[in-house]
Structure 1
Amino acid sequence: MSTHLVEIRDLKVAFDGVQVLHGIDLDVRPGEALGLVGESGCGKSVTWLAALGLLPGKAAVSGSVRVDGRELCGGPRSALEAVRGGRIAMIFQDPSSSLNPVLRIGRQITEALSLHRGLHGQAAMTEALRLMDIVGIPDARRRFDLYPHEFSGGQCQRLMIAMALAGEPDLLIADEPTTALDATIQAQILDLLIKLRTETGMATVFISHDLGAVSQVCERVCVMYAGRVVEQGDIGRLFAEPRHPYTRGLFDAIPRLDGPRERLIPIPGTVPNPRNLPTGCAFAPRCAHAEDDCHALRPALETLNDGRRLACFNPVPVNAVPRAETKILESV
């Protein structure tokens, strides 16, 4: 019996013949908080949309996605429907486009309760109000019959979380849940996610480009670049000693909010076009550590002695890495 809640193996996705995911291997353990980080377009969201069968029909998906050992990829639609919303729920980065603008909030939450838990009438309304209270919507009874446009952006995100919780999921996927929110509301949403995980024991996948937010929420982190996993491991060790040059570049680009002013060190170049990826390592054209092998061969994701997994021929030396987590904490 697998000890993982979700096991993803060799997951590949292509749109119109252009491959955007190149064999993702990923596990989520019961109750853990896993962070997915990387630049926009690296495949963070596509990985989970593909896993849950939420990509458009033109997407070609292959590989294996197992939940409690049961295969979802390529399986019957009934297998996906049994998992989505119930076992695994997903909240999206733009609640304004996910909430139905012409339906009252109470109707939308009770619909989720009816679908996933079979609650109707007064029982559904009572539970919906309880969920609104849990996620911090003030005066829930009065606001039960309001429309999405009558709530702030942060409150809409809280309502999306309430709808996700309606199915009592074992795994909550939070896709950039703090995007477009001000710093105070971002902190409140992060605190809410931590509180819910602590109280319910559900696992969380936190998708973000914000390393500071990931450091608050997650125990383990997976760094993606150009549709591949390049580094993953325990968050304390990986943040203290990032070994992949791309991971190190992400840390170097974080601004400091106190202390002496320092010029940021941007990652040179641009993310490669999926239609024209380099022959070897996709990061090689932007990497100061790249050698001939990096341009000719693609490094495999291998397990190191410290337990992390790394795809790099010339990793950053441990003794050359400052304690990057100090900079992360200063930026939060």
Structure 2
Amino acid sequence: MSFIEIRDLRVAFDGTRVLHGIDLDVAKGEAVGLVGESGCGKSVTWLAALGLLPAKARVAGSVTIDGQELCGASRSILEGVRGRRIAMIFQDPSSALNPVVRVGRQIAEALRIHRGMEGGIARNEAVRLMDMVGIPDARGRFDIYPHEFSGGQCQRLMIAMALAGEPDLLIADEPTTALDATIQAQILDLLSTVRAETGMAMVFISHDLGAVSQVCERICVMYAGRIVEEGAIGALFEQPRHPYTRGLFDAIPRLDGGRQKLVPIVGTVPDPRSPPQGCAFSPRCLQATGLCRDSLPVLMPQQDGRRLSCFHPGAGKGQRLQTSGHRASVAA
């Protein structure tokens, strides 16, 4: 049973629609990946769900956690959910951490807000969390500043802060983007380990198909503010059916292949101020017909259990990604 349910979530900035009715469920303990090019709405979906968008944003639809409505909820309700039930790791730890506050104090503050811990109890728990996420000499480094840590260690500190509230759902917003391949692998292993130990659910937002395949069981492919394909990792990677999903795989270099030229997806993501009349992907799709250009396909359940939004779905083969030391990334 899903404990997070998003229904018909729509977001507009200054009258320009950027999300066009997102429907998404996350079950307890499940790991779901969101992939797609920059600007497709991955991060906006969850910022809207948590009420973290600026005042000029207009949000409509429904977001519930265990039946409690979050969309349009009061500040007190949202503050009771943020960090405590749903925690978020932001993309850039250097901007998320306060540069003039010692890291231990920042983690202890999260413990005070979400779990009511004070003094020595909070300090000991903060040290435990730092040790849990792999910070060497956690007790000795409790009172130093963020700039004294490496980029990978700052990301680990952000994970420790997110875990301070013992959340039911962890949203990891491109947590490995700025890291090298070795550190990225360590962070992915850490997220998998923490999830296995705590039983929390996770939403992993990324451009990196290889990373998503390592930590998630289900994947949602987003394009121009809509989910266009959703399914289990194994089935979708083995046989992507939406032309956009197949295009993402075609643009990935194969480790076991020759020196063939990569096949990019032609064109660019449409301007949200003047979207196509029909399918948003139709101007870039080699299979598009007049129906695609005039009508909007609906995200529909398929016989194999996935959901798909396409009038002419294919049966193309994907890739079995080898992710060790290799980044399989969607164009940013």
Query: Residue deviations 1:153-211, cap 9 Å, x none?
Result: 00000000000000000000000000110000000000000000111100000000100
* 1:92 equivalent in structure 2: 90
Q: What is the aligned-residue RMSD (CA, Å)?
A: 1.0
Query: Residue deviations 1:281-321, cap 9 Å, x none?
Result: 000000011111000000000000001000000011x2xx2
Contact 2:255 2:322 in 1 (8 A): no
* 1:200 equivalent in structure 2: 198
Amino acid at match of 2:319: E
* 1:326 equivalent in structure 2: 320
Give me the whole-angstrom Cα distance separating, in 2, the residues matched to 1:199 and 1:149.
30
What is the TM-score with the length of structure 1 in the denominator?
Answer: 0.97
Give me the whole-angstrom Cα distance separating, in 1, the residues matched to 2:230 and 2:104.
40
Compared CA separation, residues 30 and 125, structure 1 to 2 (3 A) = same
Give the percent of matched residue pairs that are identical in Structure 1 and Structure 2.
73
Contact 2:87 2:170 in 1 (8 A): yes
Contact 2:10 2:20 in 1 (8 A): yes
Q: Per-residue deviation at 1:258?
A: 4.0
Compared CA separation, residues 329 and 163, structure 1 to 2 (3 A) = closer
Contact 1:251 1:328 in 2 (8 A): no
Tell me, yes or no, if structure 1 residue 284 matches structure 2 residue 282: yes
Amino acid at match of 2:56: K
Amino acid at match of 2:180: D
Q: Per-residue deviation at 1:78?
A: 1.5
Give me the whole-angstrom Cα distance separating, in 2, the residues matched to 1:55 and 1:27.
21
* 2:8 equivalent in structure 1: 10
Equivalent in 68, 72, 76 of residue 66 of structure 2: 68
* 2:302 equivalent in structure 1: 304
Q: 3-state SS of the aligned residue for 1:276?
A: coil
* 1:123 equivalent in structure 2: 121
Contact 1:51 1:73 in 2 (8 A): yes
What is the TM-score with the length of structure 2 in the denominator?
Answer: 0.97
Q: Per-residue deviation at 1:56?
A: 0.5
Give me the whole-angstrom Cα distance separating, in 2, the residues matched to 1:314 and 1:155.
46
Give me the whole-angstrom Cα distance separating, in 2, the residues matched to 1:41 and 1:139.
39
Amino acid at match of 1:197: R
Contact 1:211 1:328 in 2 (8 A): no
Q: Per-residue deviation at 1:329?
A: 5.0
Structure 2: tracts of 5 or more residues without a match: 328-332
Q: Per-residue deviation at 1:57?
A: 0.6
Contact 2:210 2:321 in 1 (8 A): no
Runs of 4+ in 1 over 6 A off after TM superposition: none
Q: 3-state SS of the aligned residue for 2:9?
A: strand
* 2:226 equivalent in structure 1: 228
Contact 2:93 2:154 in 1 (8 A): yes
Which one has the bigger helix percentage?
1
Query: Residue deviations 1:118-173, cap 9 Å, x none?
Result: 00000000000000000000001111000000000000000000000000000000
Q: 3-state SS of the aligned residue for 1:142?
A: coil
* 1:244 equivalent in structure 2: 242
Tell me, yes or no, if structure 1 residue 154 matches structure 2 residue 148: no
Give me the whole-angstrom Cα distance separating, in 2, the residues matched to 1:293 and 1:329.
38
Q: 3-state SS of the aligned residue for 1:261?
A: coil
Query: Residue deviations 1:258-298, cap 9 Å, x none?
Result: 43111100000111000010000000000011111000000
